[in-house]
Amino acid sequence: MSAILTLDAVTVSLPKNADRPHAMSEVSLSLQANEILCVVGESGSGKSMTANAVMRLLPPGVAIDGGRILFEGRDLAGLSEPEMRKVRGAGIAMIFQEPMTALNPLITIGDQIGEMFQLHTDLGKAQIRDKVQALLEEVRIPDPVAAAKAYPHELSGGQRQRAMIAMALALDPRVLIADEPTTALDVTTQAQILELIRDLQKRKGTAVLFITHDFGVVAEIADRVAVMSQGRVVEQGTAEAILGNPQHAYTKQLIAAVPPLKAPPPRELASEPILTIEHVSKTYRTGGFLGRGQRVTHAVRDVSLVLPRGATLGIVGESGSGKSTLARCLVRLIDPESGAIRIGGTDIASLSKSELRAETRHIQMVFQDPFASLNPRRKAGDAVAQGLIVHGTPRADARARARELFALVGLDPAATDRYPHEFSGGQRQRIGLARALALEPRVLVADEPVSALDVSVQAQVLKLLADLRQRLGLSIVFITHDLRVAAQVCDLVAVMKNGEVVEAGPIGQVFGDPQHEYTRALLASIPGRAFGLRETASRQASETP
Amino acid sequence: MSFLKLYFRSPPAIIGLVLLLLVLAMAISADWFYPRDPLALAGRPLIWPFANPRFLLGTDNSGRDIAAQIFHGARISLLIGLVATIISVVIGITIGAVAGYYGDWVDTILMRVTEAFQTLPNFILLLVLVAVFGSTITTVTVAIGIVSWPASARLTRAEFLSLRNREFVQAGRTLGLRDVKLIFGEILPNALPPVIVYASVVMAIAILLESALAFLKLSDPNVASWGNLIGAGRDVLRVQWYVSAIPGVAILVTVLAVSLVGQGLNDALNPRLKGR
Amino acid sequence: MDMTRRAALLTSAAIASSVAFPMRSLFAQETPRKGGVFTVHYGAEQRQLNPSLQASTGVYIIGGKIQEQLVDLDAAGNPVGVLATSWEAAPDGKTITFKLRDGVKWHDGRPFTSADVQFTAMEMWKKILNYGTTLQLFLTAVDTPDPLTAIFRYERPMPLNLLLRALPDLGYISPRHIYEGKGDIRQNPANLAPIGTGPFKFVTYERGQHVIADRNTDYWRPNAPHLDRIVWRVVTDRAAAAAQMEAGQIHYSPFSGLTISDAARLGKDKRFIVSTKGNEGNARTNTIEFNFRRKELADIRVRRAIAHALDIPFFIENFLGDFAKRGTGPVPSVSTDFYPADNGPQYPFDKKRAAALLDEAGFKAGAGGTRFSLRLLPAPWGEDITLFATFIQQSLADVGIKVEVVRTDGGGFLKQVYDEHAFDLATGWHQYRNDPAVSTTVWYRSGQPKGAPWTNQWGWTDETMDKIIDDAATEVDAAKRKALYGDFVRRANTELPIWTPIEQIFLTAISAKARNHSNTPRWGSSSWHDLWLAE
Amino acid sequence: MRILTLAGRRLAASIPTLVLILIGVFVLLQFAPGDTVDALMAQMGGGDAETAKQLRQYYGLDVSAWAQLGNYLWRLVRLDLGFSAIYGKPVATVIAERLPATILLMTASLSLAFFFGLVFGVIAARGVNRWPDTLISTLGLVFYAMPTFWFGLMAIVVFSIYLQWLPAGGFEDITVGLTGWRRTLDIARHLVLPTLTLGLFYMAIYLRIMRGSMLEVLTLDFVRTARAKGMDETRVVVRHVLRNALLPMVTLIGLQAGTMLGGSVVVESVFSLPGLGRLAYESVIQRDLNTLLGIVFVSALLVITVNFIVDLLYARLDPRITTGS
C-alpha cells in the first residue's frame, strides 16, 4: 500500500540559544493508509515537533530547513500559507493533549465543531447543525443535543476529548495526528478514548500518527512504532517486533524502565502499626448564601487504614477520588472534620496549631510537581536545611546535614549552593526527598512523587526510594494513579473511589484477584496489560532482595 | 538567559533607562550647576529662553531662573515620586499580603477598605487631605502615597492568592514554619517582582498628581518642584507659554522614562510574552 | 472743573494712557444702538446675588444691574440720586431725610415706596449686610411719613458725606413684600433670583454655567436700557477666560479677572480696551500685617527694617506692570476727599539701613546668615498677592530673615490669621470703600472681636490711634473730619502695625465695541442702564 | 439569572464600603482649618463676629462634630443629602444640575479611551516588535506621561484661539439659545477638547492592557487548535482571540470609573465645565461638607453602578461565570 504521508530526512533547526542545534535531524517516517503509527519517546525527543512540522505550526524562530514532507503527492514543506491552510483540517487533522485548554472557553462546542464546515465547505447553517449532531453521536458523547449547546467548562475531560475528535474527523481527513491525546486523562477514560480512536480509525480507514511517551498505550493501540530520541528516529518497525525484541539499546532501556504490572513476591511485614487512620472524613462546602444553595462535596468519607512499621501502603484511585486530600490530612495541611490519625500513640488530628508544629517532624511529605515544590528564590541546600533550623539545629550543622542528605539521595553535595532552576525534574524530586528526610520522620507521605517524570527518570527515583526504604527502615504512604508504579513499590494497597476505600489488602492479592468491580475495571483499563505481565520474569532476576 | 541581557534586548527599555539616568544626573548635579537657592530672585521676570545668556531657559513670573528650578526640581519631583511610591507600595503589600494569605473574613474586610479607597475618586481624597493637613512637601507626598495604595494591594493579593497553595509553601508548612516566616520568607520574595514593576506605574502617577495639585496652587510654595513651576506658569500661559511648557516637558520625559523602564522590567520578567 | 474731577481723571489717565487705546472722546454724539447681548466673565460664584445682604464686587457685578440703591456716584465721583431724588441732614447730624423717586415699580409690578427703604435699612443693612452692620450701628429707626419720604434717625451724629459715600456700596434696596414675614431672610429664594427696580430683570441662574438677565421693559429711566440681555458666564480658570474673550465668547472681564500678562497682552489688541478707568471707587492696597505676639515684630525697628528691605518700585515695575503704583498709607491717592498732603514717614528701599536696624534691635546673623525665621501667610485670592509673597521671601532672605510661605485656602486663611492668630506675617488686600470709616479704620481700631476678618487682630493697641478713629467717625464737619484722617494716616505710618506699600485699582478688560462703559468710579458695580454695543 | 444574584451580592457588599467612605471623609474634614462660614466670609470680603455666630447656627455648625455626623447619617438614611452652604439649595438639586456634564464627559472619554485603546492594542499586538507596535506603544506612553491640564491648555491655545475651530470652554453656548438637535450638536462641539484631554490618558492605559492581553491569549492552546483547523490569522484573531482578550479590559472599566471622576476635577476647571469634579474642588475650598459628602455619595453610586454594569457585561462575555465553573 502506498504511503499517505512520508517524512523524508526532515530537519528542523532550533533558535541559537536552545540546548541543542536541531529539534529534528533527518527524520524519515512513512504512514500507510488505515494504520496507526505510534511515535514514542521521552520529553524533548522531538516527537511533538514532528507533529507540528507536518502541520507547519512551528513556534516562531523554529523552521523546517531540510527534507520533504510528502502528502498526496505534494511537499508540504514548500507549500504557500494559503495552500497549507486548505490542507489543515481537511487533509490532515490534529488533536491535542490538554482537553481543558484546547477548546475556546467562550464558544459552544457545537459552534467550534461547526466552524470546520464553515471554513472548508459552503454548507448552510441547518446542514452544519445536523452534521455536528451526527459527529457527536459518532464519538458516542452522552446527550449530544445538550453537548452541542454546552460550553467547554461544562463537560468532563473525556467528553471534551471526544468533542475534539469529532471536530478533527468532521471532514473525513486522510490523516489524523494525535499528540498525546490521553496523557491528561484518568486511566478509565483513557481506555475509552483509545478504544474510540481505534474504532473510528478502522471504520474510516484514516491513517493515524499517534504521539505518546507511554509504552502501555503503544502496546494497546500501535500497528507500527517509531522510537525517537534527541530528534532522531532510533528504531522503526511493527509493534510486535519493537516490543517483542527491541534492537536499539535506547529502546531496550526505555522498555525495561516501564514497571511491570505483576507485583514482586510479598515481603514479610512487621505486625505493630506505625500509623493508624481511624474514620477520617473531610467535606468541602462552597458558595451558597447563608446556608441556601451550598454545594457540598465529600472529599474523604470515613476512611480507616493501618500502615505497619517499615511497610509501604499504596493509595490508588482516579482524580477526584480523594487520595490527595487524605494525604494532606495526614500531614495536617488540611484539617479533617472527624476521625483520628495516630503516629506512635499521639493523635495528630486533634493537636492545636502550636502543638502540631512540634509533632509534624514525625511525618513528612514529598510533592508531585518538581517545578513547584521548591522555592525558586531559595538555594537547594537551604530548602533542605530549613526544617532542621526551625526545629533548633544551629545553622552550620543544618547545612552540613543537608550536604549529607544530598549524598544520600544521590546528588553532588556541592550542589547545595545552586538554585532550583539549575536542576532537572528528577534531581528536584531527589531534593524534595532530602528535605522530607531531613527531620528523620517516622512516616513519609509521597503524593504522586514520580507521575510528572519521564519513565526512565521515574525508574531511577523509584529505585532510590526502594533503596532508602531498605536502609532507613522507612514506612511510606504512596499515593499514585499509576497502577504499574503501585505494583512495583507498595506492599499493601487501598483503592479509593469518590472519597471511600472500596478495597484494601496486600498488593499481590488485590491486583491478582480483585474483589470489588471498580478495582477490576481499573485494572482492565490499564493500556497494554498483557505487555506488562509478560515482562515480570526477566525483571525479578536482576533485582537484589 | 540572564535578566539583564533580557532587559537590554528591547530598545524602548534602553531609551527609558538613558532618560532616567539623564534626569538622575540633573538631580545630582543641581547643586554644582546652580549653587544659589533656585527660588531666589535671579533677575527680571519673564525673560524668554536663550534671550539672556545668564538664563539659558529664561526666568519665570517671579524672576526665578527656570533652568535652576528644572535641575533642583528634578530632585524634588523624583523624591516625591519615589517616597510616595514607597509609601503606597508598602501599605499595598502589607494589606495585600494579609488579605491574600489569610483569606475569608480578614480578606473581606480588607477588600472592603480597598474598594472604599478605589470607589472614592482619588484626586478628591487628595484635595481633602491637602486641605486638611496643609500643603507642605511632606503632607503632599504622604497624601499621594495614601491615595494610590489600593492598586498595589490588589496586585499583591492576587499574587498571594495564587502562591499561597503552591507546593513549596505547603512544604514549608509541613516543616513547621510559622505564618510570618511563610509570608515574608517564602511567598513575598516570589510575589515582589510584579509589584516592583507596577511601582513604576505608581511613581508615574505620583509625579502627575503632584503637578496637578500644583496646577491648582495646592502644593508647597517653598520648594522648587516642577509642579510649582507649571502652577506659576499657568497665569502667564498665553504669552510666556514656555514657563509651563519647559517643566511640562521635564515631567513628560521623567514619567516616560519611568514607564519605559517599568515596561522593560516587566517584559524581562516574563520573557515568554516579549520574546514570542 | 473742581479739584476732585481733575485729580480723578489725572490719576487714571496717567495710569491707563501708556497702555490703553486712547479714549474716543466723541461718545455722546453716536446714537446708542438698541439690542444685543452683553456677555460678562463671572470668575467666582457667590452664594447669593442680593447686594443689600452682601457687600462684595462678586455680588454687585450681577445684583447691581437688577437692584438699585438710594444713591450712586456720577462720572466725577460725587453722589447722585437713584431711588432717592434729594436728601438733607439736620444740623445735629442725627436725622437725615431722603425724598424718594416717584413712579418706580419693582420687576413684579408692585410700586417702590419708603416702606421698602425702612424694611431694608432696619432688617438687612443693620442686621446682615457686612460693613452695613458697623455703618448703621447707631441707626435707631427709619420713619416713613409718606410713601416717598424716608427719615433716618441716629443715636449718635452720622456725617452726611460719610453716609453718601457709603450708600453707593451699602445702600441697595430690596422689595419688602418679597422678604417680610417669609421666614429667615437668608433662606429666601429671591436671594438667588433677585427682584429689583433696576434696568435688567433676572431670568435664570444655571449653577456653574451662567446667569441671564433681560431688559426691564418698564424701567423708570426713559428709553433705557439699550441692551436686550446680559449673560454672566462662569469661568473659574483665568487663562480660559482670556481665551474665551479672544474667541469672542466674552465681552467684558471685570475687577482684574484676567492674569496680569493676559491683561497686558489684550491691552495691545485693538479689539479690546484694558484700563483702570471706571474702577476708582474700588481702590485697594497690598498689605503686610505684623503679628505683635512675635517679640521680633513687636519691635518697631524690626518692622521698619522689613519695610526698608523691600524694593517696591522694582517689584511694581517688573511684576505688576503698569496698573499699580507706590502706596503711601492706608488711604489710597484715588480718595480725593481724604488723601492727606503729608502722609507721614515713608520707607524707601535701603538694604543697609534695614540690616543696621536689625543689628540695632539685637538680632545678629546666626548660622548661615539667618537672624530669625518667620511664617508668612499670603491670602489665596490674588495673583499679585502670591507674587508679592514670593518677593517678600526673596528680599528678606537677603537681610537674613528666613521666610516660610504657608499656602492656605480661603477658609483656612481667615481662620489662621483672624481667629487663631497663627501667623507671623500675612499679606493680602485692604479694600478702600470711598471713606476710611467704612472698611479702613477697623484695621487699626483695637478691641475688635476675635475671628472678625479684616480687622485689627495684630495684637496691637494704641490709645492715640483709637481716639483719632473714634473722633473722626462722629465728626460732622467735613474739613475737620478730613484733618482727623490725615492724623490717622500719619499715625499709621509711624507706628506701622500694617505696611501698605502698594496701591492698585481693579482692572477692566472690555470689548472695543462697548459704548458708555467705565463712565463712573464704580462702573463694574453700577446698573449699566446706558451701556450699549456698537456693530 | 445567576448574574443578578452575583451582581446583587456585590451591590450589597458595597453598602458598607459606602458608609465607610462617608464617615471617613466626614471625620477627615473636621480637622480642616476653618469652616464654611470662614470660607463664606472670605468670599464676602467682610462680616462681623455677630453675623458669623448666626451663620454658624444657621448651618448647624455649633453642635459637636459627632452630633453633626449623627444628623448627617440619619438624614442620609432618608436619602436627604442635606443643604448646600455654597448654593443655599438642597445638595440633591445642586448635584442634579451638575451631573449631566460629568456623566457626558465621563462616558465620552471612557468610550473614546476604550474603543481606540482596543483598536490600537490589537494593531500593536498583531505587529509585535515591528514598527506599528513600537510607534503605538511610544505614542501611548507619551499621552500617558503628559499632564492632562497641560494638554488641555495647549489644546485650547491651538484649536480654539489659533484655529478657531472649537469653543474655548463652557458646556454650551447660551447666548444663542439653541434647542433640540442643534443644541446637542453645540454641546458636542464644546465637549470635543475636554473628552480628548481626559480620554487620551486612559486610552494609553487601555492600549497597554489590550496589547498585553492579546499577546497572552495568542499563546493559549485553543488558538493553536484554531490554526490547526485551517483558519487564517485574521479569522483566528476575530473569532477566538479578541473575545478572550476583552475580559481584562472590561474589568479595568470598573476599576477606573473612580479615578476618572478624580481626573475630571482638573479638566473641568481648565474647560470651565459645570461638572461634579469642579463642584467637589469648590466644596473642599468652601468647606461645604454637605455638598462634598453628597458628591462622594453620588460618585460612589456612579462607580458602583458602573461596576454592576461591568459585572453584567463580563458575565455575558464569559459563560463560565453564569453557569458556574
Chains C and B touch (3+ CB pairs under 8 A): yes
> In chain D, positions 127-146, which contact chain B (CB-CB < 8 Å)?
128, 134, 137-138, 141-142, 144-146
Residues C218, C302 within the same domain:
no
- Whether C99 is covered by a domain: the verdict is yes
Over its length of 545 residues, how does chain A's per-residue pLDDT go in tens digits?
578 888 888 888 887 777 777 888 888 888 888 889 999 988 888 888 888 888 888 887 788 888 888 888 888 888 888 888 888 888 899 998 887 888 998 899 999 999 888 888 888 999 999 999 999 998 888 888 998 999 988 888 889 999 999 998 888 888 999 999 888 888 888 888 888 888 888 888 889 999 998 888 888 888 999 998 888 888 888 888 888 888 888 888 888 888 877 777 777 777 788 888 889 888 887 765 555 667 778 888 888 988 888 889 999 988 888 888 888 888 888 888 888 888 877 888 888 888 888 788 888 899 888 888 888 888 888 888 888 888 888 989 988 988 988 888 888 888 888 888 888 888 888 888 888 888 888 889 999 888 888 888 888 888 888 888 888 888 899 999 888 888 888 888 999 988 889 999 888 888 888 888 888 888 888 887 766 555 443 443 333 33
pLDDT tens, C281-332? Answer: 888 899 999 999 999 899 999 999 999 999 999 999 888 878 888 999 899 9
Residue A347: DSSP 8-state:
E
Q: Strand C508-511 relative to strand C272-275: parallel, antiparallel, unpaired?
A: antiparallel
Question: A448-451 long-range CB contacts below 8 Å, 24 or more apart?
Answer: A448/A324, A448/A368, A448/A479, A448/A480, A448/A481, A449/A366, A449/A367, A449/A368, A449/A478, A450/A480, A450/A485, A451/A368, A451/A480, A451/A481, A451/A482, A451/A485
A373 contacts B171? CB cut-off 8 A: yes
DSSP 3-state of A101: coil
Residues C302, C442 within the same domain:
yes
CA C239 to the chain's CA centroid: 24
Residues C353, C267 within the same domain:
no
pLDDT of residue C9: 43
D229 contacts A88? CB cut-off 8 A: yes
Domain that holds residue C376: 282-505
- Whether C338 is covered by a domain: the verdict is yes
Q: Does the beta carbon of A331 lie under 8 angstroms from any beta carbon of chain B?
A: yes
For B185, nearest residue in chain A (alpha carbons): A378
**Minimal Cβ distance to D32: which of B11, B120, B132:** B132
Residue D238: DSSP 8-state:
I
B128 contacts D25? CB cut-off 8 A: yes
Rounded CA-CA distance C147/A171 in Å is 105
B146 by Cβ neighbours in 10 Å (0-12 / 13-18 / 19+) ranks as middle
* Residue A230 phi, psi (nearest 5): 50, 40
Residues C290, C244 within the same domain:
no
Rounded CA-CA distance A441/A444 in Å is 7
Residues C267, C288 within the same domain:
no
Chain B nearest CA to A335, separation (Å): 13
* Residue D186 phi, psi (nearest 5): -65, -45
CB C494 within 8 Å of CB C274: no
Residues C297, C423 within the same domain:
yes
- In 3D space, the residue among C134, C137, C152 whose CA is nearest the CA of residue C55 turns out to be C134
- Whether C491 is covered by a domain: the verdict is yes
CB D86 within 8 Å of CB D169: no
Over its length of 535 residues, how does chain C's per-residue pLDDT go in tens digits?
333 444 444 444 444 444 444 444 444 557 888 888 899 999 888 878 899 988 888 899 999 999 999 999 888 888 899 999 999 998 888 999 999 999 999 999 999 999 999 999 999 998 888 888 888 888 999 999 999 999 999 998 888 888 888 899 899 999 999 999 888 887 788 988 999 999 999 999 887 788 999 999 989 998 889 999 999 998 887 877 888 888 888 999 998 888 888 888 888 999 999 988 888 888 889 999 999 999 989 999 999 999 999 999 999 988 887 888 899 989 998 888 888 888 888 999 999 999 999 999 888 888 778 899 999 999 988 888 988 998 999 899 888 899 999 888 777 888 888 888 999 999 998 888 888 888 888 889 888 878 778 888 898 998 999 999 888 888 888 888 889 999 999 999 999 999 999 999 888 999 999 998 988 888 989 989 989 988 7
For B166, nearest residue in chain A (alpha carbons): A372
- In 3D space, the residue among C514, C528, C534 whose CA is nearest the CA of residue C62 turns out to be C528
- Whether C41 is covered by a domain: the verdict is yes
pLDDT tens, B28-41? Answer: 998 888 888 888 88
Chain D nearest CA to A5, separation (Å): 17
- Best mutation target among B159, B164, B173, B174 (most A Cβ atoms within 10 Å) is B174
Q: Strand A492-497 relative to strand A312-316: parallel, antiparallel, unpaired?
A: parallel
Order of strands, sheet of A500-506, starting from the edge strand that comes earlier in the sequence = A363-366, A443-447, A475-480, A312-316, A492-497, A500-506
**Number of residues in chain B:** 276
Residues C366, C431 within the same domain:
yes
Q: Which residues from C are below 8 Å from D40, CB to CB? A: 47
D68's CB contacts (< 8 A; 6+ apart) are D26, D60, D61, D289
Residues C162, C241 within the same domain:
no
pLDDT of residue D39: 77
- Whether C462 is covered by a domain: the verdict is yes
- Report the CATH number that the domain containing residue C427 is assigned in CATH: 3.10.105.10
Residues C109, C216 within the same domain:
no
Counting one residue from B and one from D, how many pairs have CB atoms under 8 Å apart? 153
Lookup: cell for C33: 444702538
**Minimal Cβ distance to A391: which of B176, B181, B189:** B176
Residue A321: DSSP 8-state:
S
- Best mutation target among C125, C227, C409 (most D Cβ atoms within 10 Å) is C409
Q: Does the beta carbon of D27 lie under 8 angstroms from any beta carbon of chain B?
A: no
D266 contacts B215? CB cut-off 8 A: yes
Neighbours of chain C (3+ CB pairs under 8 A): B, D
Q: Does the beta carbon of C35 lie under 8 angstroms from any beta carbon of chain D?
A: no
Residue C255: DSSP 8-state:
T
Counting one residue from A and one from D, how many pairs have CB atoms under 8 Å apart? 75
Question: Where among C107, C142, C176 does a domain terminate?
Answer: C176
Residues C81, C220 within the same domain:
no
Residues C477, C419 within the same domain:
yes
- Report the CATH number that the domain containing residue C221 is assigned in CATH: 3.40.190.10
- Whether C60 is covered by a domain: the verdict is no
- In 3D space, the residue among C364, C347, C346, C368 whose CA is nearest the CA of residue C355 turns out to be C364
- Judge if ipTM > 0.85: no
The DSSP code sequence of A106-140 is TS-HHHHHHHHHHHH----HHHHHHHHHHHHHHTT
**Minimal Cβ distance to B174: which of A364, A368, A383:** A364
Q: Does the beta carbon of D216 lie under 8 angstroms from any beta carbon of chain A?
A: no
- Report the CATH number that the domain containing residue C111 is assigned in CATH: 3.90.76.10
Rg (CA), chain A: 25
DSSP 3-state of B276: coil
- In 3D space, the residue among C18, C19, C32 whose CA is nearest the CA of residue C519 turns out to be C32
Chain D nearest CA to A376, separation (Å): 23
Domain count, chain C: 3
Chain A nearest CA to B167, separation (Å): 5
- Whether C377 is covered by a domain: the verdict is yes
- Whether C142 is covered by a domain: the verdict is yes
> In chain B, positions 189-228, which contact chain A (CB-CB < 8 Å)?
189-190
Q: Which residues from A are below 8 Å from B166, CB to CB? A: 372
- In 3D space, the residue among A107, A106, A108, A79 whose CA is nearest the CA of residue A92 turns out to be A79
Q: Alpha helix (H) ranges present in chain B?
A: 3-7, 11-33, 66-102, 104-119, 122-133, 137-147, 149-164, 167-174, 179-181, 188-215, 226-234, 242-269, 271-275
Q: Which residues from C are below 8 Å from D171, CB to CB? A: 209
pLDDT tens, B212-263? Answer: 888 887 878 888 888 888 878 877 877 788 888 898 889 889 988 988 888 8
Residues C243, C258 within the same domain:
yes
Chains A and C touch (3+ CB pairs under 8 A): no
Question: Where among C111, C141, C176 does a domain terminate?
Answer: C176
Q: Does the beta carbon of D42 lie under 8 angstroms from any beta carbon of chain A?
A: no
